[in-house]
Homo-oligomer: A and B are copies of this chain.
Amino acid sequence: MAAITYRDALNQALREEMQRDESVFLMGEDIGVWGGSFVVTQGLYKEFGERRVRDTPISEDGFVGAGIGAALAGLRPVVEIMTINFSLLATDQIVNSAAKMRYMFGGNAKVPIVIRMPGGGGHQLGAQHSQSLEVWYANIPGLIVVAPAVPADAKGLLKAAIRDDNPVIFIENEGLYTTKGDVPEEEYLTPLGKADVKRVGRDVSIVTHSRMVLLALQAADELAKEGIEAEVVDLRSLRPLDVATISASVHKTNHAVVLEEGWGSYGITAEVAATIYEVAFDYLDAPLVRISGVEVPMPYNLKMEKACIPNLEQVVTGAKKTLGKAA
């Protein structure tokens, strides 16, 4: 196992699948000559050429629609939307076309597309460039939505997504690209729809996804110092949601903290919280604690932005609160 960055793990997944399957190709803004604004596709344009690594105009609606059409015709496009904020220009194609076609055409159509997009804040990019909107897509039947937190899952889930015959929304996070983690040398796939316990613990379950998994692990370290053993459940997949894994964890710990970087109201944590109460009502010793981003457009000022994103202290305090231990 070699420790590589999240970015390189994605790059490996793309390269391997493109080498394996001629029908896999990439589309997106500045993914070719430039190498991707977050450098995820670097080197692929050189290796595979324009035909399979296609730079697009700034036409999110158009090229996402074109990707869906290409998938309908049997190709396996991996479309990069530079950030999830710009995916708002393509929601019609994602929701009204990709998510609908198979069912509304009576099963006679298939749309094996992967649409990659990073979300998240923390880089002072301001209100229009710092959103976490994955909950929107997680709400839509017909879509599969995954959000890996570590390089190994990023690679395994992307390869699995590319091979899956359903439209997959692949959520990355701008704060994760340079993070490192071990990635198996040999070929592997990470199953879509399965959560992963990133740290085992018996006292409290911290259930979260994407970049917040790293914060949860940090918090678990802190809590351990005080003798509290937190279990960190990485959802990995938002649609479908792996209720079994979440349930098993909370049945064991009897306490839960649900955490997300984005806005909590009608957010990912709303569904996860409701689900936990539903499947563990008689197991919860106390109300769970919901932690999410402050519900304002993201401010530019560094201190203000920091104050909007969940931090270590909040998670530690939240865990103690549900455990009835005053911080």
Contacts and interface: CB of A to CB of B under 8 A. Distances in A.
A82 to B, nearest CB: 13
A266 B128 contact: no
Given A96-B128, A127-B100, A297-B142, A266 B277 contact: no
Contacts of A277: 273-274, 277, 287-288
Nearest to A284: B281
Contacts of A270: 266, 270-271, 273-274
A223 B128 CA distance: 48
A269 B265 contact: no
Nearest to A282: B287
Contacts of A299: 103-104
Interface string A98-138: 01100110000000000000000000001110010101101
A216 interface: no
Q: What band does the interface of chain A fall in when counting residues whose beta carbon is under 8 Å from B?
A: 35 or more
A281 B287 contact: yes
A230 to B, nearest CB: 21
A80 B274 CA distance: 33
Contacts of A133: 139
A45 interface: no
Interface string A234-277: 00001101000000000000000000000101111111011001
A295 B141 contact: yes
B290 A104 contact: no
Interface of A: 61, 85-86, 88-89, 91-92, 95-96, 99-100, 103-104, 126-128, 131, 133, 135-136, 138-142, 238-239, 241, 263, 265-271, 273-274, 277-278, 281, 286-288, 290, 295-297, 299-300
